[in-house]
Amino acid sequence: QVEFSYPPLMPGEGHDSHSLPEEWKYLPFLALPDGAHNYQEDTVFFHLPPRCGDRTTVYGVSCYRQIEAKALKVRQADITRETVQKSVCVLSQLPLYGLLQAKLQLITHAYFEEKDFSQISILKELYEHMNSSLGGTLLEGSQVYLGLSPRDLVLHFRHKVLILFKLILLEKKVLFYISPVNRLVGALMTVLSLFPGMIEHGLTDCSQYRPRKSISEDAGLQETTPRLDDYVSVSADDVSNTNLGMGKGGRKMAGEHPLEGQKAHVPFPQSEKPCNGAQPSNGAVQRLKVPFRASPESSESDWETLDPSVLEESNPKGEGENKARDPAASRPQERARSEGLPITVQPQANAGHAVLVPGLVSGLEEDPFGMPLAVFTKGYLCLPYMALQQHHLLSDVSVRGFVAGATNILFRQQKHLSDAIVEIEDAHVQIHDPELRKILNPTTADLRFADYLVKHVTENRDDVFLDGTGWEGGDEWIRAQFTAYLHALLAAVLQPDNEKTLSDFGTAFVAAWKNTHNYRVWNSNKHPALAEVNSSHPFQGQYSVSDVKLRLSHSVQNSERGKKIGNVMVSTSRNVVQTGKAVGQSVGGAFTSAKSAMSSWFSTFTQSTQNPGD
């Protein structure tokens, strides 16, 4: 439970109130994650739904630590167990995950070093410091990517990074799995950072869900709910949700005596009218100002699936600005006569590519290319960490898909609730549907692109001067490659007679992508900036012997039959070093097995490579 919040989370209640808004009932379980007792410290990124229907995602960063109760200088009456768990948590309207984490880790360390949890002045100082030093302008710099390393991602997942990228483009149900949480959220958010503008401006509508008990509530309740407005918060909670005790031999077991878990949470209002009615103790505190963005509509929108045929036709010039600022004005009114052509014109700024304007349809702040794509809108959720208490969201009818992270094995075991499970530890992407696997099978040009990334990253991995900060092979360079890839794909779909060009991206993939919500939203606008982009795959070209090697390597590493060949080879090598008469028999049997497996696999491989565009 929440032990302390600054300013108070609930209007009319004190800083030490345990009460939570209904929309944020999962906050304690997110900020102090499942299995936290297994680690001395951890960091969590999570998303909360807005407390007001017309506001945006609340971004949470939590730093967790545990300490033995006997080490405390002041042991309060409520500390009755041997171990105390606390998290210090910041809630923000700005997606500055790594920057908030860096500041929060220092404060959490200092808070624990006090060894007296009643000393909350340091949390109030953190609140005032963050509101005075952080602002919306940081979203336009590289600090928004602090702690997110595509270089490490490519080193770990290698060619599979492109499969993850395409999975999300198709808006599939993707579950990331690993423990501890900091590795989970780091990998998941790094994948999202490959999409241009996604972290900065693409997640404002990514957590539009309702807690289970509130689904049946009257719609009028939203009108009485205090407004969050531009709200950033730090908080301190007391979370005793682990129900773990010390068993024989010192092992922590479920049951008996729960370990004490506590958290710190401090709110940061950014506007003059905080939605929760909380008044900061210091009226002179500077407020963070969030850049203007049109408010996304709720997930119950009329165009949940957004068929292009029901999008509104473009307004006469002069109405575009009003329409962008009033989401209600952009609802579909009549059927468009043509599905093939964009039916609204995205206003273009005069000051170049750096200027963002509110998307007429997406409600997101977009650049002249239409980035970020409206992936995480209209019921497609992004939940970097999911608590077990949120499990029902995976099968909620109002949730059309998700990119979510979990550390609890129960999520991984229920494979029917997701399209793909990404096991980060083994860099394994498990796709359940054979048809989806076929759609995501990389083309020859895709394999060249992925190999280009891997080579540039691995060749520089020992360069102490590079360390992920250089250009070629560095983090920014990798993001630039994915931006160029996505721009080329978007430019290619706009060209007439583009079947050959699109085959380099994957004919089946492009066909599936054109049925997604994000493509329909993007295609509903015109984006003249794409006229300057080369409308072909960055790695198009004639098939060569090196492509055969690439395909062979990829197939052996990723197909089940390829893994069997590897196992047979291992078995063969073991038998070779044996002695005695059994050697000849076992080696002969192993080679026969390898030969049959190889011939069967190679026949399948040659069939799949006859048409390199498939």
Q: Is the per-residue pLDDT at 497 higher than 70?
A: yes
Q: What is the residue-averaged pLDDT of the chain? A: 73
As given in the structure block, the two tokens for residue 161 are 């990074």
Average pLDDT over residues 18-27: 90
As given in the structure block, the two tokens for residue 29 are 């379980």
C-alpha closest to that of 258 among 116, 408, 83: 83
Buried b / exposed e along 152-168 (16+ C-beta atoms within 10 A): bbbbbbbbbbbbbbbbb
Q: How many helices (H) and strands (E) does the chain have?
A: 19, 17
Check residue 51 and give its pLDDT: 85
C-alpha closest to that of 372 among 592, 254, 521: 521
Name which of 296-310, 381-395, 468-482 the model is least confident about. 296-310
Residue 315, phi then psi, degrees to nearest 5: -80, 160
Residue 279, phi then psi, degrees to nearest 5: -115, 120
Tell me the pTM. 0.71
Under the banding of pLDDT at 50, 70 and 90, the label for residue 251 is very low
Check residue 83 and give its pLDDT: 80
Average pLDDT over residues 589-611: 53
CB 270 within 8 A of CB 229: yes
Between 73 and 475, name the one with better pLDDT: 475
Domain segments of the chain: what residues? 1-137
Q: Is the per-residue pLDDT at 344 higher than 60?
A: no
CB 345 within 8 A of CB 314: yes
As given in the structure block, the two tokens for residue 582 are 């059994």
Under the banding of pLDDT at 50, 70 and 90, the label for residue 599 is low
CA–CA dist 305, 311 (Å, integer): 11
Instruction: Decide: helix, strand or coil at residue 537.
Output: coil
Q: Is the per-residue pLDDT at 107 higher than 80?
A: yes
**CA-only gyration radius of the chain, Å:** 26
Between 117 and 223, name the one with better pLDDT: 117
Residues in the chain: 614
Check residue 90 and give its pLDDT: 94
CA–CA dist 171, 310 (Å, integer): 21
CB 332 within 8 A of CB 302: yes
Check residue 354 and give its pLDDT: 54
Q: What angle do CA 224, 380, 312 make, to 5 degrees?
A: 80
Average pLDDT over residues 335-345: 40
Name which of 261-265, 517-521, 537-541 the model is least confident about. 261-265
Contacts of residue 527, defined as CB under 8 A and 6 or more positions apart, other chains included, come to 346, 368, 369, 370, 490
Q: Is the per-residue pLDDT at 171 higher than 80?
A: yes
Average pLDDT over residues 62-84: 78
Check residue 234 and give its pLDDT: 56
Name which of 221-225, 400-404, 425-429, 440-444 the model is least confident about. 221-225
| 371-404 pLDDT per residue, tens | 999 999 999 999 999 999 999 999 999 999 999 9
Under the banding of pLDDT at 50, 70 and 90, the label for residue 146 is very high
As given in the structure block, the two tokens for residue 393 are 């969201």
Question: Token match 């001395």: residue?
Answer: 40
Name which of 106-110, 181-185, 188-192 the model is least confident about. 106-110
Percent of the chain residues past pLDDT 90, beyond the cut: 39
Between 416 and 280, name the one with better pLDDT: 416
Between 488 and 560, name the one with better pLDDT: 488
Q: Is the per-residue pLDDT at 227 higher than 60?
A: no
DSSP 8-state secondary structure symbol assigned to residue 415: G
Check residue 259 and give its pLDDT: 33
In degrees to the nearest 10, what's the CA dihedral of 420, 207, 511, 197? -110
Strand partners, 428: 423
Strand partners, 423: 177, 428
